[in-house]
Amino acid sequence: MKRSLIVAAFLSVMGLQAQNPLQLKLNNWATGLADAVGVAHCGDSRLFVVQQAGIIRVVTDSMTVLPTPFLNITSTVYDVGNEQGLLGLAFDPDHANNGFFYVHYTGGTGNGISTIARYTVSADSNVADVGSAVILYTWPQPFPNHNGGDIHFGPDGHLYIALGDGGSAGDPQGNAQDPTDPLGNLLRIHPEADSTYSIPADNPWANAGGDTLPEIWASGLRNPFRFGFDQLTGDLWIGDVGQNDWEEVDYWPAGSTNMPNFGWRCYEGNATFNTSGCQGAANYVFPVAVHSNVANGGTWCSSIGGRVYRGTEYPRMYGRYFYTDYCAGHFWSLRPNGLGGWIDEDVLNTGTAGFSSVTEGYDGSLYTTNVSFGTVQKIVDKCPMPAPSVTSDGFELSSTTANSYQWYWNGAAVPGATGQTYVPANAGDYYVVGQFTGGCSLISDTLTFIATGLGEQAAEHLQVFPQPAKDQVVLQRSTEDQVAGMVRMVDEVGREVLNTRWSAGATQLALNVERVPNGTYVVLVENSAGMVLHRAPVMVMH
């Protein structure tokens, strides 16, 4: 093997990070769960699936639906209207010791009565004691729709209860802006060991007195069917169903006990709706995302609030908030833009409707229920494999393993550069796109090629002499490389100083360098497709 002086080069990371759009897919987890509207966990691997008619079923981590319901209160639950029924489930933070869990359902008759009840698990952890019911809170509904229905313990250990504005359309009773009525609000209470509850001392209206309800923690909501907390930060996220124009997602950071007013019925999304008796816009919290309703020419009809992914299985999902819509069948992701705003991205189009929740398991995994198909599905990264990583020995770029490769130079695909390695022909920015199973295309980070000086490298198939060259330099190649192509000479920053054609069958080629300034150059031998077959140094000294 012959050795020769060459132009050394290095590749420096320029802070150009790969932009690989996240794509989700749904993996089937459980079926046969008619009218599934939500999922909860009690701190272990089981999923508890809420069915609107009044049943809760257990799904094991082996994706098996246990035949005996965890709870069956169909005789108590009133689900005549499509927004009534058993709608929410939350396990007590100390469930492992006290066995308590809480449900939110519509009871009674007629327009129904929103009810919060506590139950206790039996000696069998997969079956509740149906006779252990303790009614904690009730409120009559003036209309059969907008029952809200979600219920969760916050990171502060208090129970949050979402109530819709009472129904009909346009909040005709003005409930969502009325502090004497719980409808259209998010309530915050602390269940006690008996059948009572207390008011947290830092509730906004804990000491207001009069007819103002101390349970109210947030107001201005139309129909917050699904809400939840970021398990890491404690931030609150709400999917609030709109009227006819806008579906919205609301956000409130953890740590603030100032009562947020999310604007309904003064505002729908960011647009005014009915401002009679309303305050100035600065008094309301506007949504972090809005989507056009079908009645407004869009595809959405009922915003389904979700969760921030805090699992470890899919790193590219981490820290993003995922949510969906009942009609559109798309799943969206929200993440901070670094400037105080949000990046809203469509990450999955299922082509189907009926999604009723985005909730999480004990390990941070995300799940979605579909009320139309009776399914639970796990939300996963469609392309979980790492993006290709590019390294260099100073002359050749190498990609980590993929099924196939395409190299790019300054944003343009390099013709024929489809191998796992590539020898840069010019100074500039390089990255590779790797193809993986499942139709996944992932982009590497970008590296920048910069010629810098002298070094040594093996040169088995191309010889260059004399070194240094004065007026002429001769290239000698081996017999197996006698293909037609181009020869180019470039300077240390990739600028071409001459080029010529090397005919097929010729083993030698003489280059006239009389007019080439003194310096160190690189000779590039390319095939007809433009792929660099060889590179070698040339030192010109007149």
For CA atoms 452, 456, 457, 463, the dihedral sign is positive
Residue type, 226: R
Where on the phi/psi map is residue 182: left (φ > 0), alpha (ψ -120 to 50), or beta?
A: alpha
pLDDT at 16 over 60: no
Amino acid 237: pLDDT: 98
Total-model pTM: 0.83
**Degrees, nearest 5: CA angle 112-118-123:** 135
- For domain 3-9+453-540, the question of CATH label 2.102.10.10 is answered with no
**Degrees, nearest 5: CA angle 101-255-181:** 60
Amino acid 14: pLDDT: 43
Amino acid 526: pLDDT: 86
Per-residue b or e along 467-476, where b marks 16 or more CB atoms closer than 10 Å to that residue's CB: eebeeebebe
For CA atoms 395, 401, 403, 408, the dihedral sign is negative
Backbone angles phi, psi at 108, to 5 degrees: 75, -150
pLDDT in tens, 270-290: 999 999 999 999 999 999 999
**CA atoms of 506 and 225, how far apart (whole Å):** 76
| Across 5-24, average pLDDT | 59
DSSP notation for 278-343 = ---GGGSPPPSEEEEBGGGTSSBSSEEEEEE---SS-GGGTT-EEEEETTT-EEEEEEE-SSSSEE
By C-alpha distance, which of 302, 151, 336, 287 is closest to 229? 151
Q: Which range in 254-258, 381-385, 483-487 is most confidently predicted, on average pLDDT?
A: 381-385
| Across 537-541, average pLDDT | 86
Alpha helices in 399-513 (DSSP H): none
pLDDT in tens, 195-249: 899 999 999 999 999 999 999 999 999 999 999 999 999 999 999 999 999 999 9
| CATH 2.120.10.30 intervals, the chain | 24-381
Cite the beta strand spans of 43-163 per DSSP E: 47-51, 55-59, 71-72, 86-91, 100-107, 113-121, 128-140, 151-153, 159-162
Q: With contact defined as beta carbons under 8 Å apart, do 377 and 27 qualify? A: yes
Hey, what are 466's tokens?
Answer: 């004399």
Higher pLDDT, 539 or 201: 201
pLDDT in tens, 521-535: 888 888 887 777 888
DSSP conformational letter for 128: E
| Across 365-377, average pLDDT | 98
State the DSSP H helix or E strand holding residue 210, giving kind and residue range, or none if neither. Answer: none
State the DSSP H helix or E strand holding residue 449, giving kind and residue range, or none if neither. Answer: strand 447-458
Higher pLDDT, 480 or 379: 379
| Across 297-304, average pLDDT | 97
By C-alpha distance, which of 288, 203, 206 is closest to 250? 288
Residue whose token pair is 């209860």:
161
pLDDT at 45 over 70: yes
Amino acid 494: pLDDT: 67
Amino acid 151: pLDDT: 98
pLDDT at 13 over 50: no
| Across 109-131, average pLDDT | 98
| CATH 2.60.40.3080 intervals, the chain | 3-9+453-540
> What does pLDDT average to over the chain?
91
Q: Which CATH class is domain 24-381?
A: mainly beta
Amino acid 450: pLDDT: 66
pLDDT at 43 over 90: yes
DSSP notation for 361-403 = -TTS-EEEEETTTTEEEEEEES--SPPP-EEESSS-EEEPP-S
| % residues pLDDT > 70 (the chain) | 93
pLDDT at 126 over 90: yes
Higher pLDDT, 257 or 38: 38
7: pLDDT confidence band, cut at 50, 70 and 90?
very low
By C-alpha distance, which of 373, 434, 371, 357 is closest to 403? 434
Amino acid 493: pLDDT: 60
Amino acid 3: pLDDT: 35
| % residues pLDDT > 90 (the chain) | 77
**CA atoms of 453 and 446, how far apart (whole Å):** 22
| Across 178-199, average pLDDT | 97
Residue type, 351: G
pLDDT in tens, 427-460: 788 999 999 999 999 999 988 776 544 333 434 5
pLDDT at 389 over 80: yes
Amino acid 460: pLDDT: 52
